[in-house]
Amino acid sequence: MSSLENALEILGLLNPKREVLRVSEVARDLDIPKSSVSRLLQTMCASGLLEREEAGQGYLAGPLSLTLGTLYRNRFSAVDDADRIVTRLIAQFGFTGYVSCLSEDVIVLLRVRQGSYPLRHVRDVGTKLPAFKTAMGLTLLSDLPLDECKRRFDLAPRDGLSWEGVAGKLEALKQDGVIVAESVLTPGIITISALARHHCLEERVAVAIGFPENAADAPMRETIARELLEGASFINAKNK
């Protein structure tokens, strides 16, 4: 691998559960010589992508990482509006709220808000999830032409999914504007999702509420779906 590829592999190790990189651990995990790891970490530190621990030998995400993350998030002007909708609904119902965007065949979580419900199912901001296996992913895909969705489906891992089944869900979403679905990735979790658009900037984000299936009966699910759709529709009308 080139130095650039190695550097990208190293950056890919950073996540909310692993905030510190250490030379020996990185060398072991990526099977790269310690001397190369040390040199790359120092170079990334000099660029601002990383910075040294104040007390210790580790490396943390640096100020340039924050700048890049902010630039990515700022591409989605509807995020703050969507976040307000989600925040209001989790205050009302106590469940977990999400805002996400689409990147080819995956979604990226942009905001995650935890409610008061004691049984929590929380994923970290920045987490990538397969679009065709998530309610939010299907919500975002439903705004694309069906042939474009088919192109992405053909390139994505199938894992038992059929295009006919996916296409049926997409058509229903185009008609209803909201989806209530049991999680394929986490059985026992229900996700309700709707689409928020910024028409002028051609942006789209999914807003969603997730909860254990025994935490909300059918009338409550219908209420959440209706209010989520109303909130998304407000954002859509505001940003035309």
**Whether residue 129 is found in the same domain as residue 103:** yes
For 226-235, what is the mean pLDDT?
90
**Whether residue 63 is found in the same domain as residue 80:** no
- Give the whole-angstrom CA distance, residue 218 versus residue 119: 19
**Whether residue 13 is found in the same domain as residue 59:** yes
Work out how many domains the chain is built from and give that number.
2
What pLDDT does 189 receive? 93
Residue 194 phi/psi, 5-degree rounding, is: -140, 165
**Whether residue 166 is found in the same domain as residue 151:** yes
Domain span at residue 29 reads 3-69
- Give the whole-angstrom CA distance, residue 206 versus residue 79: 9
Residue-wise pLDDT for 94-148, tens only, equals 999 999 999 999 999 999 999 999 877 778 888 999 999 999 999 999 999 999 9
Q: How many CB atoms lie within 10 A of CB 123?
A: 17
Residue-wise pLDDT for 132-144, tens only, equals 999 999 999 999 9
Model's pTM, two decimal places?
0.72
